[in-house]
Structure 1
Amino acid sequence: MNDEAPDQLGTPTPEELREQVERAHDGLARTVGPPASEGDLAAQAKEKAAVVREQAAAVREQAAGKAAAASDRLREKTERAARAVEDRTPEAVREKTAQAAAQVREKTEQARRYAADRTPEPLREKTDRALTAARANRAPLLAGGALLVVLLLIRRSRGRNR
């Protein structure tokens, strides 16, 4: 075997290898750039967090606007429907309805008084405490109830789509 054969086949010399490594190193340095210091990374993270906070605030504002618009539309439709029903309901039916409502209110008041008179004192105290707690935590209770209604409506609509 001849030592000159590999050189003739294109094997690079050590000097050529050094030049190739330097060119590759320079290309990588331009592509990657200088290494970032820890301070730079912290500043970049803070900038990204600020951008995410701004985007989240914008989404919250947009959602609040859409919710308010949907609520207004629902209120208007409900009022129109109530007026339409009232306009189409005969006067005799309205009078009977008013009488029935008055009777229901009266019977409800009688039942309330009867229950208050017959309920033992310890049970009334516990009921009062529960009512006070519910009134104090009205917002979370209403939010939980609204969430429950939304979940039930979603489940119901998915059942129809199947």
Structure 2
Amino acid sequence: MDRAEKKALVASLNRVFSETGVVVITRNHGLTVAQVTALRGKMREAGAGYKVAKNKLARIALEGTPYTAISDMLVGPTALATSSDPVAAAKAAVDFAKTNEKLEIVGGAMGDTVLDANGIKQLASLPSLDELRGKIVGLLNAPATKLVQIVQAPAGQLARVMGAYAAKDAA
């Protein structure tokens, strides 16, 4: 990798760090190409990115971003998972690590907050942004549905009583 490619990589990583909601640092101990490809696929499905970068270049790219404090975690064979949704990258990494012991969660950060491996696992246990939106829509929709049921109940009962009288008179 020549100097121009390194500068382009650092600029790209810096842009990603400036726009992302969470950074998860993982350590790869002997993952095969197929396993890394599967992990990248899971990350893409979750709306996250997964990048293996040289630690020195990643440290340079972290400068000037809210994630400067995690540069100490960049030791050994590491990779960076990022996403704008604070839960997506953490959830995808933790789910993959449950099925593959060769992937270790080192830590990460969510904005200025530095998280250790347990913090990332707790972050992964939270519902995603889409799940939270669905719950809010459900909560907003529930009172309207109940109101309609309450308003329609007397009319329905009246119709059933009239129907019963009509059936009684016909019999």
Above 0.5 in TM-score?
A: no
If the length of structure 1 is used for normalisation, what is the TM-score? 0.30
Structure showing greater radius of gyration is 1
If the length of structure 2 is used for normalisation, what is the TM-score? 0.29
Which of the pair is proportionally richer in strand?
A: 2
Asked which structure has the greater RCO (Cα within 8 Å, sep 6+), the reply is 2
Which of the pair is proportionally richer in helix?
A: 1
